[in-house]
Amino acid sequence: MSQGMVVLVGAGPGDPGLITRRGESILRRAEVLVYDHLVSHELIRLAPASAKRIYVGKSRGHHEMSQSQINQVLCDEAKAGHFVVRLKGGDPFVFGRGAEEAEVLFEAGIPFRIVPGVTAGIGALAYAGLPVTHREYASSVTFVTGHDDPDLPQCRADWPLLAKFHGTIVVYMGVTRLCRIAQVLIQHGKSPDTPVAMVERGSWPGQKVAVSSLREVADPQVALPVKPPALVMIGEVVHSQSKLDWWSRLPLAGQTVLMTRPESETHEDVEQLEENGAEVLLAPTITVRPADDPTELDSSISKLNEFDWLVFTSANGVRFFIERIFQLGKDLRVLGHIRLAAIGPATTQALKKFGLNADLVPTKYQSEDLARLLAEHVQGKSVLMARANRGRTILKDQLSGIARQVVQVTAYNNADSLAFDEDILDRLRLGTIDWVTLTSSAIARRFISMLPDDFQIEKLQKIKFASISAITSASAREVGIEPVVEAQEGSFEGLFKAIVSYQMNDKSKATV
C-alpha cells in the first residue's frame, strides 16, 4: 500500500475567505479532513463530498479528543495510505500545537507539509481595526499565551518582563485570566492607562470588539464584555482603532440574515451579504433537483430545431436544461438557431455562465411583463418554456393565442424542505435572527408552514422580512407576515439594496 501524507493547513482566523490559495486547493483534494472547533463550515464544505471528515473538537473545556488521540488519528489515516488534511484555525504554528503534530509525524516517518495561515493575532485584529504595529505607537509586537495562571511558577509567559516591553502585546487564550494578567503588568510597572482592546470571534460574522484600559480590566468588579474565543491587545496602537474600525461601519455589521431560497441559488448572494458585514444562515425552504422523469425534457431537447424561442423563468431552469443537454452528449450548438428570453438578471447571468446572451429581458422581472414583451416577438412562432414542475402558468396562458405553439417542459423539480434545522429554530426562538429573505410567494408560504406546531408566532415579530416583489409581499401578508422592505427591482440585488438602505437609515437614526 502506498504511504499517505499529512498537510497541516492554516484556515485563517474565521472568515473563510482568508484561507490561502494553496490551502484551498489542498483542501479540495483531501481524502481525510481532520478539523478543529475554530474552523468555518464553509471551508469544511470545500473538501470533496467523499472525504472522511473527522472533528477533533478543542473548544475550551470540551476537548473532543486529547492531543495524543489526534496525533494517533493523523498517523493512522496517513499510514492507511490517505491524503490527510489537518485543518487548523489561524496558522498551524501559532499556539495551535501544529509543531507537536508535525513532530509526531516526523518521528513516525510520515511525510508532511505545512501551509501557513493568517493567524488570529493579526487577521482577527485587522477585522477589528487593530494594527499590530504602527509608526506612531509600536515598532514591535509580541504574541503571548494567556492560558496559564500568571501566579504559577510554570507560567509560560514572562509577565514581569512584558510589563517593561514597549511594543504591542497580543494575548491569545487570555480573556479568562485577563484580570490577573493586567494586575501583574501594572504591579511590574506598566501604566494603568495603557489601552486594551478585546476582540471576540474576530472576522466571524458576530465579531465583538471592546476597548478599555489596563486599570479597568484589572478591577475584578468589572465584568468583561467578551468571552472566548477572544484576543486581547495591550498597547498604545489601540488608539488607532477608532479611526480604523472599518468592519463595524459596514452597513450590515451585526445583522443576521436567514436565506430561505434553495441553497444552489445562494452562493454569490451570501458572499455579497457577508462582505457587507452580515452573518448569513441558510435555511432552504425549497430544494431543487433534476426532473424525476426526464423523458419529456429529453424529447424537447432532441426537437430543439422545431422551436424559435426558448424561454427561461429562473436561473435553475437554465442550469438544469443546459446540464441535461450536456448529459445527453450534445453541446450548445443545439441552441445555435434559437432566440433566448430570460425573466430577469439572475436568469440572464445563469445564461452568461454558459456563454449565452439573452435576446430579450423585460425591464420588470415578472411573468406578466415577460409575456407582454414576448407577445410582440412570437407571433406564429414556436416557443419552448423550460420551468420547474410547479409555478405560475401565466406565460403559457397569455402566449398560447399568439404563438404557433407554446410547449412547457419541466427542467427541474421544486420540492418543499421538510423541516428547519434545530439550530435555526433555536435562533428563531431566541430572536437572534434580524432578517428573513422572501424571494417568492411559495417561499413565504413555506417559511410559515415549516414552523413546528408549538412555535410561538409572536417570536417572529422582531424579525424584519424582506420581500422580493409586490406579489411576494401579498402572499406573505396572506400568511401573516408583513415585510418591512420590498425590493424595487425583482432580483436579489434589488432585495439586497432594500435591506442595506433600511439599515443605513436605521444607523443614521441611531447616531442622531
Q: Where on the chain is the footprint of ligand SAH (CB under 6 A)?
A: 13-14, 38, 88-91, 94-96, 119-120, 124, 172-173, 199, 201-204, 228-231
Task: Say which amino acid occupies 141.
Answer: V
Cβ at position 14, least distance to ligand SAH in Å: 4
Using an 8 Å Cβ cutoff, are 177 and 184 in contact? Answer: no
Q: Which residue is nearest to ligand SAH (CB)?
A: 90
Residue 37 vs 459, nearer CB to ligand SAH:
37
| Contact between 198 and 224 (Cβ < 8 Å) | yes
Q: What is the DSSP letter of 222?
A: S
**Residue 197 contacts residue 210 (beta carbons within 8 Å):** yes
Nearer Cβ to ligand SAH (17/228): 228
At position 45, the amino acid (one-letter code) is R
Measured from the CB of residue 510, what is the shortest distance to ligand SAH in angstroms? 25
For 211, residues 6+ apart whose C-beta sits below 8 A from its C-beta are 195, 196, 197, 198, 238, 241, 242
CA distance 413 to 386: 11
DSSP 56-113: ---BTTB-SS-HHHHHHHHHHHHHTT-EEEEEESB-TTSSSSHHHHHHHHHHTT--EE
| Beta carbons of 49 and 93 less than 8 angstroms apart | no
Instruction: Determine which one of 15, 58, 233, 434 is catalytic.
Output: 58
Catalytic residue among 15, 36, 91, 269: 36
**Look-up: residue for cell 432585495?**
495
13 or 262: CB nearest ligand SAH: 13
**Minimum separation from the CB atom of position 89 to ligand SAH (A):** 5
The Cα-based distances of 175 to 133, 156, 180, 197, 271 in angstroms read: 22, 16, 10, 11, 31
Beta strands in 366-454 (DSSP E): 382-388, 405-416, 435-438
Amino acid at 131: P
**Nearer to ligand SAH (CB atom), residue 149 or residue 482:** 149
Which residues does residue 311 pair with via DSSP β-bridges, in sequence order? 341, 385
The cell for 406 is 407554446
- State how far the Cα of 298 lies from the Cα of 293, in Å rounded to an integer: 9
How far apart are CB 247 and ligand SAH at their closest, in Å? 12
Cβ closer to ligand SAH: 63 or 459? 63
Least separation in angstroms between CB 167 and ligand SAH = 19
Given 88, 91, 173, 190, the catalytic residue: 173
β-sheet with 339-342: strand ranges across: 286-290, 405-416, 382-388, 309-312, 339-342
Is 173 tagged catalytic? yes
Residue 144 or residue 485: which is nearer to ligand SAH going by CB?
144
Q: Which residues pair with 282 in a beta bridge?
A: 259
The residue (of 149 and 268) whose beta carbon lies closer to ligand SAH is 149
5 is catalytic: no
Say whether 243 is catalytic.
no
At its nearest, how many Å lie between ligand SAH and the CB of residue 463? Answer: 27
**How many residues would you count in the chain?**
512
Burial of 435 (0-12, 13-18, 19+ CB in 10 A): buried
Q: Which of 75/231 has CB closer to ligand SAH?
A: 231
Q: CB of residue 396 vs ligand SAH: minimum separation in angstroms?
A: 52
Q: Where do we find the cell 431566541?
A: 430
Q: Provide the minimum distance between the beta carbon of 390 and ligand SAH in the complex, in angstroms, as a whole number.
A: 43
Rounded-to-integer distance, Cα 296 and Cα 274, Å: 40
Would you state the cell numbers that stand for residue 362, as one nine-digit string? Answer: 423585460
In the complex, minimum distance from the CB of residue 234 to ligand SAH, in angstroms, rounded to a whole number: 13
- All residues at 6 or more sequence positions from 176 whose CB lies less than 8 Å from its CB, including other chains: 146, 228
Residue 228 or 290: which CB sits closer to ligand SAH?
228
Active site residues: 36, 58, 173
